[in-house]
């Protein structure tokens, strides 16, 4: 009878190559660690070498396979060249992003350009570069874009961030349709507030912290570890029929 039981598709990524942008700290570092811990050879990308080289050393010390690659994802010519000279990756975690919280009445064109250029334009062309290489090399890969619960709801002082993350959700669905004939999947992860080096200063404001906790029904700020399983799931064969979807990891924020 045992051989008649369905077998759980593997969450392991042995023999696969993964790329993580914005990988030096926070969510990107956690994504790289998760992929390495499940067997992938991970390339960590950031604008400067220091943090990703330290991260690579830590992953290797823990028995993982990793390398660092300095790349400014806002330099679109450099992004295109990066993918042209390498074999295709099996997995992309499209994570580089930024935020400038402020009332919409205070947003300047410069603020708009900083947030939308990185969160939307760079994310688009990183995904394009990864997908073109997958198609070129015949790789049925997985694109994982780091979205946000703010790509599903609104939030005060988050007009730029919401604009960028809602755009990412729409792009993701269209990517899924364009790439499905090539066996390439595209999905997002939509976290709630996660405590990272970028967000930590915001939580030092007691009123802000309590307002966030009032919305997260499970009663705590997210940690990067809360996202690691989602990254592995979407990267692996366990999610083989998922594309054009969003995994919302928000502690219940968007449930009401």
Q: How far apart are CA 228 and CA 236, in angstroms?
A: 12
Q: How far apart are CA 48 and CA 183, in angstroms?
A: 33
Q: How far apart are CA 103 and CA 12, in angstroms?
A: 43
Please give the structure tokens belonging to residue 70. Answer: 């300095």
Half-sphere CA count of 131, side-chain side, radius 13 A: 23
Tokens 């924020």 correspond to what residue? 253
Contacts with 90 (C-beta within 8 Å, 6 or more apart), sequence order: 13, 16, 17, 18, 40, 134, 139, 141, 142, 235
Is residue 112 part of the annotated active site? The answer reads: no
Question: Which among 82, 83, 161, 175 is annotated as catalytic?
Answer: 161
- Are 52 and 29 in contact, with CB atoms under 8 Å apart? no
Please give the structure tokens belonging to residue 76. Answer: 């679109």
Strand boundaries in the chain, DSSP class E:
17-21, 41-46, 65-70, 91-94, 142-146, 185-191, 246-249
> Would you please indicate which residues are annotated as catalytic (active-site) residues?
161
């Amino acid at each position: 009878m045992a051989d008649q039981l369905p077998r759980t598709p593997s969450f392991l990524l042995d023999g696969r190559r993964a790329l993580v942008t914005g990988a030096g700290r926070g969510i990107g570092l956690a994504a790289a660690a998760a992929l390495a811990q499940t067997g992938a050879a991970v390339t960590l990308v950031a604008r400067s070498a220091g943090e990703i080289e330290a991260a690579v050393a830590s992953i290797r010390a823990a028995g993982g396979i990793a390398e660092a690659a300095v790349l400014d994802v806002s330099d679109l010519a450099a992004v295109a060249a990066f993918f042209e000279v390498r074999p295709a990756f099996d997995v992309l975690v499209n994570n580089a992003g930024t935020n400038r919280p402020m009332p919409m009445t205070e947003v300047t064109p410069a603020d708009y350009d900083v947030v939308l250029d990185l969160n939307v334009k760079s994310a688009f062309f990183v995904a394009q570069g990864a997908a073109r290489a997958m198609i070129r090399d015949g790789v049925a890969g997985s694109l994982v874009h780091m979205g946000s619960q703010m790509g599903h709801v609104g939030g005060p002082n988050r007009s730029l961030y919401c604009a960028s993350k809602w755009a990412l959700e729409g792009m993701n669905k269209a990517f899924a349709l364009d790439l499905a004939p090539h066996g390439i999947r595209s999905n997002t992860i939509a976290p709630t507030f996660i405590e990272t080096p970028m967000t930590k200063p915001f939580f030092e404001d007691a009123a802000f912290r309590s307002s966030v906790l009032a919305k997260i029904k499970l009663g705590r700020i997210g940690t990067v570890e809360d996202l690691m399983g989602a990254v592995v799931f979407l990267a692996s064969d366990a999610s083989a029929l998922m594309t054009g979807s969003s995994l919302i990891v928000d502690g219940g924020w968007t449930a009401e």
